[in-house]
């Protein structure tokens, strides 16, 4: 054991001055220690062999640390927070002086602000969810063709990046039951990023944002829903608008409607030019039951639509892909 300690001291000293640290691992001194093992008794072999192994592992760790130190010393220190090379010219494409909020985030905050002023509570949706909240709680039967319209991705564990913010509806309704009994209503909007398995073009993206609203009370009706949406769109676009609806189909509402506005005159709209903005309708009784709310006592309405569609119309943007492209000329325009 004294011999092991002596060799350990010698190897550490050699490593301290060696220009080739890896060569210390090949030292014959360690090999000589291993050669001694067969000459020892049975009990000594075990303890002596373990000590030699410990020595070799220790020297190997010291060698690796020495090599890493040498590698780090060869790397020139840089300031990773610098917006440009200290000795180079400033790039016209990078600026750390003037940051800005992404147009989608800016407009999403505006949308949420309008709804909260109208009395709705706002909650951000999840970016990963399960089959129950994506389909089951929203009245999509298993293997029903309606699921195909929300074709999305799945993880190996079966989780789903949500295809709509409606995945929050069951949670909002469940958590709002006490409020419903106490105050007589549930009024919530959910907002966030959603994902679809889409072929990309000027009007389709695989990643975008939605805002979903739900309202439940004993006397909720379509007239209240249309009045709420009419007021929202006039506030968002800052002008008087005409609205209309047409039949639609969503498993989680009955009846289901598509909500349209007349194209705003401020962006060149003419009378009779209608734009579909979102889907809406009265919450299906099965959705209320799934959240523990008695549909014979309470009724509700819900709606949901894309944020990009609002923003494209407001600013005359002709390609939805610009939002996720990172194009600086596009972002600078905001």
Highest mean pLDDT among 204-208, 272-276, 295-299, 311-315: 295-299
Q: Who has greater pLDDT, 317 or 216?
A: 216
In angstroms, the CA 208 to CA 136 distance is: 23
Confidence of residue 287 (pLDDT cuts 50, 70, 90): very high
In angstroms, the CA 226 to CA 232 distance is: 10
Q: Tell me the average pLDDT across 56-72.
A: 81
pLDDT on residue 149: 65
The residue behind tokens 């709002």 is: 176
pLDDT on residue 235: 95
In angstroms, the CA 257 to CA 249 distance is: 7
Fold of 103-332: BirA Bifunctional Protein; domain 2 (3.30.930)
pLDDT on residue 117: 95
What mean pLDDT, rounded, does the chain reach? 85
CATH 3.30.930.10 placement within the chain: 103-332
Highest mean pLDDT among 78-82, 84-88, 247-251: 247-251
Q: Tell me the average pLDDT across 126-132.
A: 88
Asked if residue 293 lies in contact with residue 177, where contact means CB atoms within 8 angstroms, the answer is yes
Highest mean pLDDT among 15-24, 52-61, 118-127, 138-147: 118-127
Asked if residue 267 lies in contact with residue 281, where contact means CB atoms within 8 angstroms, the answer is no
Tokens representing residue 75 in the block: 């790397």
Confidence of residue 109 (pLDDT cuts 50, 70, 90): very high
* pLDDT single digits (tens) 261-277: 998 877 777 888 899 99
pLDDT on residue 79: 64
* Element holding 70 (H helix, E strand): helix 42-73
pLDDT on residue 41: 82
Confidence of residue 123 (pLDDT cuts 50, 70, 90): very high
Asked if residue 278 lies in contact with residue 248, where contact means CB atoms within 8 angstroms, the answer is no
Confidence of residue 92 (pLDDT cuts 50, 70, 90): low
């Amino acid at each position: 054991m004294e011999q092991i300690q002596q060799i350990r001291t010698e190897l550490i000293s050699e490593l301290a001055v060696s220009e080739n640290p890896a060569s210390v691992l090949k030292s014959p001194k360690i090999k000589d220690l291993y050669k001694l093992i067969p000459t020892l008794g049975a009990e000594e072999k075990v303890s002596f062999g373990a000590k030699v192994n410990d020595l070799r592992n220790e020297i190997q760790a010291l060698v690796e640390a020495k090599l890493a130190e040498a590698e780090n010393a060869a790397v020139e220190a840089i300031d990773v927070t610098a917006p440009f090379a200290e000795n180079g010219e400033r790039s016209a494409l990078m600026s750390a002086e003037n940051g800005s909020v992404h147009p989608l985030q800016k407009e999403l905050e505006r949308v949420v602000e309008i709804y909260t002023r109208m009395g709705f509570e706002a909650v951000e949706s999840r970016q990963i969810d399960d089959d129950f909240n994506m389909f089951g709680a929203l009245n999509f039967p298993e293997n029903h063709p309606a699921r195909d319209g929300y074709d999305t991705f799945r993880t190996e564990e079966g989780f789903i990046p949500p295809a709509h913010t409606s995945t929050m509806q069951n949670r909002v309704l469940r958590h709002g039951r006490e409020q419903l009994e106490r105050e007589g209503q549930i009024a919530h909007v959910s907002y966030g990023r959603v994902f679809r398995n889409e072929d990309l073009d000027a009007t389709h993206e695989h990643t975008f944002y939605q805002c979903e609203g739900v309202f439940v009370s004993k006397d909720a009706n379509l007239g209240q829903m249309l009045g709420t949406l009419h007021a929202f769109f006039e506030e968002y676009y800052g002008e008087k608008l005409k609205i209309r609806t047409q039949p639609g189909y969503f498993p989680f509402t009955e009846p289901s409607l598509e909500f349209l506005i007349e194209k705003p005159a401020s962006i060149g709209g003419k009378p009779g030019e209608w734009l579909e903005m979102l889907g809406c309708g009265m919450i299906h009784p099965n959705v209320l039951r799934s959240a523990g709310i008695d549909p014979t006592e309470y009724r509700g309405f819900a709606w949901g639509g894309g944020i990009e569609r609002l923003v494209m119309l407001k600013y005359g943007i002709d390609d939805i892909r610009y939002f996720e492209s990172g194009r600086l000329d596009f972002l600078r325009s905001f």
